[in-house]
Chain A
Amino acid sequence: MDLPERLVKAMGDLDEDQVLELAGSMLASGAEPLEIIELCREGFKIVGDRYERREYFLSGLIISDDIFGNVMGLLDRSQCFKLDDSQKLGKVVLGAPLGDVHDIGKEIVSMLLRCSGFEVVDLGVNVRPSEFLEGAVDSGAGVVGISALITMAYEPLRETVAAFEREGLRQRVKIMLGGGAVSQRVCDYAGADAWSRDASDAVKFTRQFSGKE
């Protein structure tokens, strides 16, 4: 197995020591930082697949982000998210809806999307329907992800989807929901396109909606 393959495997196995050693060796032998980032992303995909199969858990995702961050430190972290447009898979607007100030679910999805090659426009928490709309228009994002942890967010979710309808943007912008308070019933109630059971689902839907799968 050559160095790149070993790096992908080590990332998938969450073997930080190996990942850092191999990335360092590749750098020393003249590899481009972006090549190493791409290999890490391949490894990250393995992590995502294992998470989906319930071989890994949220703790595994967080650990992989940590390893990824340490690799970026090795390369100069700033290069990670300074890909040019042709290297990005697409843009995603994320936020927690009006009335909800929990950000942990959104942070995890954001982390996974960025590591998967998407540019994330994070609107934060307690985001009004009009702010989601503005965020999608201003950024040109084709996907909006909304993470809700409280049932009081059901009406704001519905209002957000309605705001996109009113502006004639529902064909261009896909809306996915996630978070502990969300289910298929809530997705139907709000009129969203999909709901994600976990962060891995969110990446899967984003890829689908962006035509990257």
Chain B
Amino acid sequence: MKMTKRLFENDTMTAEERLQAVINLQVPDRVPSSPFIYYFAAKYAGITVHELWSERKRYLAAIDKCFDELGPWDAYYPVNPRYPEIYTLIMPMKARWPGIDLPPDSICQLLETEVMKAEDYAWVSEMAGKWGRLSYVGFFLRMIARAWDHIDEGFGAFTYAVPRMVHHLAGWRLEFDSWRRRGVTTLYGFLPEVAFDSFSLARGLMPFVKDCRVRPEEVARAAEDLTEGYYFITRVICALMGIPRAQLFLHRSSNDFLSPKMFNELAFPSLKSLVDRLVAAGIQVVLHCDGNWDLNLEKLRELPAGNCIVEFDGPSNIFLAKEVIGDRMCIMGDVPPDMLCLASVSEVDEYCHRLIEEVGKGGGYIMASGCEVPPNARPENVRAMLGSVTKYGYYGTKPREQSPIPEPHTMPT
């Protein structure tokens, strides 16, 4: 289904054309936006987080409310897991969930426990050799059973997780189609953590760092061995979702955790293998880079140009990133969470203006929050962030006051 609707009167591109232009490092009609909104939607819509993730209609209504009243945005940023266990298929960690282990209005919190054992690296490499393209499934079925007491290992994990994953993906596909009809594209069709960072999450930070010291080759080899499985599942799910883009989470590869040497030698090789294969298969990549990446930026230049978005969450110097990788990668972010919660509208407006002027210079930039829009962000600050792309973000035309083009819409249930 081809997108034709434009979001604003002054727009000369559709949201998808705009997104493609910035990924390809071309100059679009204006800066696009793609806010990571999930928990915030619950608070803004006056429902609990438990209701947000457990009642689909309420989730859709809450996101709609954000879009209609604070947006619009160009690219939908999907995160909503239909089941909490689905989360574990991306981030292999034990978690506490609102309405289950936490008060209903809390946010999900991940725990640093050893879901994966040190001896599992050898198992991963052996399993990947046998399972090949299905090694992602093999790895996560073991992890999900360890993260949740009610899920058995092996076939039990398979029969539990797979139908739920299929149900989840079917819901995503309907959502993405609906957004497309509204003139909004979707940022990505699947969002795996990269293998190296999956190990860090599953082992727990301190044991993982020790692994990188005492068994570095084993860690790096296991990450490399899983590449085939990560590539295959990403390619299949992106195709099923109709979105040829994947987000790769990099929660634990920043300089906050790893030295540049460790990143270069242990984390980067498997990351590059995966990105190269995905890009070669026509799938563009969003690197979700949490933490400070300033000393890793130069290395990122080795990834394929004109096919990657690098998303920063605040600690990295996004202006430095523009200088170092701006000629090769689209940059996304990074209105800091504390700014969205505590600053004034004028401070947000000023920062977004600077982002557009400096990081958006010549294209190659997407306006977004630094990681997630916090649940307690001030709505007027979120509106200021999203509004900045029409206030300051047009290339080659004078900005003027304008309203989104209205269109009745319905979301799938």
Q: Which residues of A contact B (CB under 8 A)?
A: 54, 56-60, 62-63, 65-66, 99-104, 107, 150-152, 154-155, 181-183, 185-186, 189, 198
B205 at the interface (CB under 8 A from A): yes
Assess the A59–B262 pair: CB atoms within 8 A: yes
Assess the B109–A150 pair: CB atoms within 8 A: yes
Q: Which of A66, A104, A107, A183 contacts B210 (CB 8 A)?
A: A66
Chain B, range 198-241, C-beta contacts under 8 Å to A: 205-206, 209-210, 212-213
Q: 9 other contacts beyond A57-B257, A60-B259, with CB at 8 A cut-off?
A: A62-B206, A62-B210, A63-B210, A63-B213, A66-B213, A102-B112, A150-B109, A151-B376, A154-B376
B10 at the interface (CB under 8 A from A): no
Least Cβ–Cβ distance between B283 and chain A, in angstroms: 30
* B213 contacts across to A, CB distance below 8 A: 59, 63, 66
Q: Mark B78-105, 1 if CB is under 8 A from A, else 0.
A: 0000000000000000001000001000
Closest to B343 in A: A185
Assess the A58–B338 pair: CB atoms within 8 A: no
* A154 contacts across to B, CB distance below 8 A: 341-342, 376
Assess the A151–B341 pair: CB atoms within 8 A: yes
Assess the A59–B337 pair: CB atoms within 8 A: no
B336 at the interface (CB under 8 A from A): yes
Assess the A99–B106 pair: CB atoms within 8 A: yes
Given contacts A57-B259, A62-B209, is CB(A186)–CB(B109) below 8 Å?
no
CA distance A189 to B258 in the complex (A): 31
* B96 contacts across to A, CB distance below 8 A: 101
Assess the B259–A181 pair: CB atoms within 8 A: no
B256 at the interface (CB under 8 A from A): yes
Assess the B342–A56 pair: CB atoms within 8 A: no
* B295 contacts across to A, CB distance below 8 A: 54
Closest to B204 in A: A104
Given contacts A63-B209, A101-B109, is CB(A58)–CB(B257) below 8 Å?
yes
Assess the B257–A185 pair: CB atoms within 8 A: no
Closest to A153 in B: B376
* 29 A–B pairs (Cβ distance < 8 Å), ordered by A: A56-B259, A57-B256, A57-B257, A57-B262, A58-B209, A58-B256, A59-B209, A59-B212, A59-B258, A59-B262, A62-B205, A62-B206, A63-B209, A63-B210, A100-B109, A101-B96, A102-B109, A102-B112, A150-B107, A150-B374, A151-B337, A151-B338, A152-B106, A152-B107, A152-B376, A154-B376, A181-B338, A185-B342, A189-B342
Assess the B255–A57 pair: CB atoms within 8 A: yes
Closest to A60 in B: B259
Closest to A102 in B: B109
Assess the B256–A104 pair: CB atoms within 8 A: no
Least Cβ–Cβ distance between A194 and chain B, in angstroms: 16
CA distance A81 to B212 in the complex (A): 27
B297 at the interface (CB under 8 A from A): no
Least Cβ–Cβ distance between B344 and chain A, in angstroms: 11
Assess the B210–A181 pair: CB atoms within 8 A: no
B111 at the interface (CB under 8 A from A): yes
B360 at the interface (CB under 8 A from A): no
Q: Which among B96, B262, B342 has the greatest number of chain A C-beta atoms within 10 A?
A: B342
Chain B, range 23-45, C-beta contacts under 8 Å to A: none
* A102 contacts across to B, CB distance below 8 A: 109-110, 112
Assess the B209–A186 pair: CB atoms within 8 A: no
Q: Which of B112, B259, B374 contacts A59 (CB 8 A)?
A: B259
Closest to B373 in A: A151
Assess the B342–A186 pair: CB atoms within 8 A: yes
* A54 contacts across to B, CB distance below 8 A: 255, 295
CA distance A15 to B110 in the complex (A): 33
Chain B, range 237-283, C-beta contacts under 8 Å to A: 255-259, 262
Least Cβ–Cβ distance between B315 and chain A, in angstroms: 8
* B206 contacts across to A, CB distance below 8 A: 62, 65, 107
Assess the A151–B210 pair: CB atoms within 8 A: no
Assess the B338–A183 pair: CB atoms within 8 A: yes
Least Cβ–Cβ distance between B296 and chain A, in angstroms: 11
Least Cβ–Cβ distance between A115 and chain B, in angstroms: 14
Given contacts A59-B258, A59-B262, A152-B375, is CB(A101)–CB(B342) below 8 Å?
no
CA distance A194 to B186 in the complex (A): 41
B339 at the interface (CB under 8 A from A): yes
* B109 contacts across to A, CB distance below 8 A: 100-102, 150
Least Cβ–Cβ distance between B316 and chain A, in angstroms: 13
Q: Mark B356-386, 1 if CB is under 8 A from A, else 0.
A: 0000000000000000001111000000000
Least Cβ–Cβ distance between A112 and chain B, in angstroms: 13
Q: Which among B102, B210, B338, B376 has the greatest number of chain A C-beta atoms within 10 A?
A: B338
Least Cβ–Cβ distance between B340 and chain A, in angstroms: 8
Chain B, range 162-214, C-beta contacts under 8 Å to A: 205-206, 209-210, 212-213
Q: Which of B111, B258, B342, B375 contacts A57 (CB 8 A)?
A: B258
Q: Which of A58, A63, A66, A151 contacts B374 (CB 8 A)?
A: A151
Least Cβ–Cβ distance between B210 and chain A, in angstroms: 6
* A99 contacts across to B, CB distance below 8 A: 106
Q: Which of A59, A107, A151, A186 contacts B375 (CB 8 A)?
A: A151
Least Cβ–Cβ distance between B239 and chain A, in angstroms: 35
Closest to A66 in B: B210
CA distance A107 to B258 in the complex (A): 17
